[in-house]
Amino acid sequence: MNRYETIRFLLHERPETRTESAEAFAPANIALCKYWGKRDPELNLPATGSLSISLGHLGATTRVSLREGADEIFLNGEPLPDATPFHQRLVEFLNPFRPEADAGFRVDTHNNLPTAAGFATSAAGFAALVLALDRLMGWGLDARTLSILARMGSGSACRSLFHGFVEWHIGKREDGMDSYAEPLPETWPALRMATLTVSNAAKPVGSTEGMNRTRDTSVLYRAWPDKVAADLQALRTAIHTQDFELLGRAAESNAMSLHATMLGAWPPLCYWQPESLAAMHKVWALRAAGVPLYFTMDAGPNLKLLFLQEEQAMVCGHFPGADVIAPFDHA
């Protein structure tokens, strides 16, 4: 089954209680153990499992309604031009959700993420879109099905369906029905993340192309699944026992190894800027001086610092530009 057929299968014979329009929110998420590499690009099935933390009230709010004619898509109040690749991607994703083949959607998405801090907004956006579609059509889909649907919009969107710590199971099935995310039961209200924006330039190489180049040319990537397995285990233990040092170490080591697999690709894939490295050395120097401070980084130049609430004043003193997030603040 391709993606269209898989989504149609999941929505098959759902009872409907349509409303006029519906809205939903989904948080952004930052992986502590990264998703890097697909085993199936059509269904966004991952090469490994991953584990993230959602960013509380920071994320995307999406309103959808049915309309006659073509889809209309707005991002933060601005219409998204039809000719953009992202418009094409959204229209294609929406196709299997249409009640009739010629039905159109109006999609209106706002996100409240710190601007230009290098957040992947598509994860929260696709998760909120799937939630809003479910409410609009009154399907009453369960969390697992919603996660699978979101995954087919953008891989890491499957994790943005939930708050707190979330694990995306790699799954084994070819149709991806066992590759979905689930929230972990533990909370950790004192946990803090702070974004350190080094550069807001667009990525020179997008994530999917970066994943493909790494898989195809980086010999070190062969060891990546082993690294993920070790870090997932460490993170689960750290979260269960509230061991911050273990959490920080596993998250930072996972991110460093992620970037290492990219540096070993050809041409070398280096998302770091000199300022990224300066910030990394600063974190390492503070840690060597006894400060419990770690970081993670996605495929971009910005750092996300990890620390506990009690260190917040100290961290903000050392990194005046840091933007602090309380992931468990989503009342």
- Could you say whether residue 114 binds its own copies (CB under 8 A)? no
- Could you say whether residue 199 binds its own copies (CB under 8 A)? no
Q: Which of 41, 201, 281, 321 binds its own copies (CB under 8 A)?
A: 281
Between 318 and 330, CB nearer to its own copies: 318
Between 38 and 287, CB nearer to its own copies: 287
Size of the site for its own copies (CB under 8 A): 35
- Could you say whether residue 221 binds its own copies (CB under 8 A)? yes
Between 35 and 224, CB nearer to its own copies: 224
DSSP string over 193-252 = EEEE-S--SPPSS-HHHHHHHHHHH-GGGGGHHHHHHHHHHHHHHHHHHT-HHHHHHHHH
- Could you say whether residue 271 binds its own copies (CB under 8 A)? no
Distance from C-alpha of 265 to C-alpha of 305, rounded to nearest angstrom: 26
- Could you say whether residue 321 binds its own copies (CB under 8 A)? no
Between 47 and 141, CB nearer to its own copies: 47
Q: Which of 252, 298, 311, 323 binds its own copies (CB under 8 A)?
A: 252
Minimum distance, C-beta of residue 176 to its own copies, in the bound complex (Å)? 27
Q: Which of 220, 246, 308, 316 binds its own copies (CB under 8 A)?
A: 220
Between 319 and 328, CB nearer to its own copies: 319
Nearest CA-CA partner of 165 in 239, 110, 99, 101: 239
Show Cβ contacts of residue 22 under 8 Å, excluding neighbours closer than 6 positions.
Answer: 63, 64, 65, 132, 133, 135, 136
Dihedral (Cα; 307, 321, 300, 49), 10-degree rounding: 20
Q: Omega of the bond prior to 267 within 30 degrees of 0, cis?
A: yes
- Could you say whether residue 219 binds its own copies (CB under 8 A)? yes
- Could you say whether residue 280 binds its own copies (CB under 8 A)? yes
Please check whether residue 94 is in contact with residue 153, taking contact to mean a CB–CB distance below 8 angstroms. Answer: no
* Residue 46, φ and ψ in degrees, nearest 5: -85, 160
H/E element holding 109?
strand 103-111
Minimum distance, C-beta of residue 259 to its own copies, in the bound complex (Å)? 7
H/E element holding 31?
strand 21-33
Q: Which of 6, 48, 218, 302 binds its own copies (CB under 8 A)?
A: 218
- Could you say whether residue 159 binds its own copies (CB under 8 A)? no
Q: 191-196 and 181-183 as β-strands: parallel, antiparallel, unpaired?
A: unpaired
Name the 3-class secondary structure at 288: helix
Residues that bind its own copies (CB under 8 A): 218-224, 226-227, 230, 249, 252-253, 256-257, 259-261, 263-264, 266-268, 270, 272-278, 280-281, 284, 287
